[in-house]
Amino acid sequence: MPKLILTRHGQSQWNLENRFTGWWDADLTEKGEAEAHKGGVLIKAEGLAPTFAFTSYQTRAIRTLWLGLAAMDRAWIPVEKHWRLNERHYGGLTGLDKAETAAKHGKDQVHIWRRSYDIPPPPLAPDSPYNLADEARYDGVPVPEAESLKLTLERVLPYWNSAIRPVLESGKDTIISAHGNSLRALVKHLFAVADETITGLEIPTGNPLLIDLNDNLLPTAARYLDQERAKDLPDLP
């Protein structure tokens, strides 16, 4: 049966600065690079050898994958990048310090924007310095103005069905290096997590989540490889 490895990127510079990042292309910190390398070491030590990889268009996820694959001696495997695996777009919150935003708008309102399933934050202003619509990498891509987790799932799921699922159905062990919310969306889908529960799921940076799948690509077992940094997982479907 195929195995799926989900890896959230290592710590980014904006994670360190406690800023809303979303689609902005913050790079890894030294700690993030170390987390990514360690993730690859743990995967190799487990005896796993993924043969196909997916990642987003964002540098922190791409470099996490590079560093992990290098640590596995598997930098040669095919890698497919797609914007649909990007982080949730935080709209008008992009670039803001999370603590300062809570002080300005109130903790309850910021909690709703961050943790509700279907309420997006305010849209990004067209003249924002964080507007990426004209970036070459997003040529022809419908860059959102803001996304809830529900909207994130709605753009991740078609890519799962059209690209990732067929690779797994062919029997290839697969690794996905992506982001807290795009991976949270996949976990919601795979484990059939309720809307009111999924927003409380935490996915640690740089800690590979190993999921065993059956022939129907339903999880039969799941665990983090770095148990010291593991978070609670949803029940199996």
Is 9 marked active-site? yes
Is 111 marked active-site? no
Please state the three-class secondary structure of the chain as a single string: CCEEEEEECCCEHHHHCCECCCCCCCCECHHHHHHHHHHHHHHHHCCCCCCEEEECCCHHHHHHHHHHHHHHCCCCCCEEECHHHCCCCCHHHCCCEHHHHHHHHCHHHHHHHHHCCCCCCCCCCCCCCCCCCCCHHHCCCCCCCCCCHHHHHHHHHHHHHHHHHHHHHCCCCEEEEECHHHHHHHHHHHHCCCHHHHCCCCCCCCCCEEEEECCCCCEEEEEECCHHHCCCCCCCC
> Which residue among the candidates 37, 87, 147, 179 is catalytic per the annotation?
87
91's CB contacts (< 8 A; 6+ apart) are 22, 120, 121, 122, 123, 124, 144, 145, 146, 147
Instruction: Please list the active-site residues.
Output: 9, 87
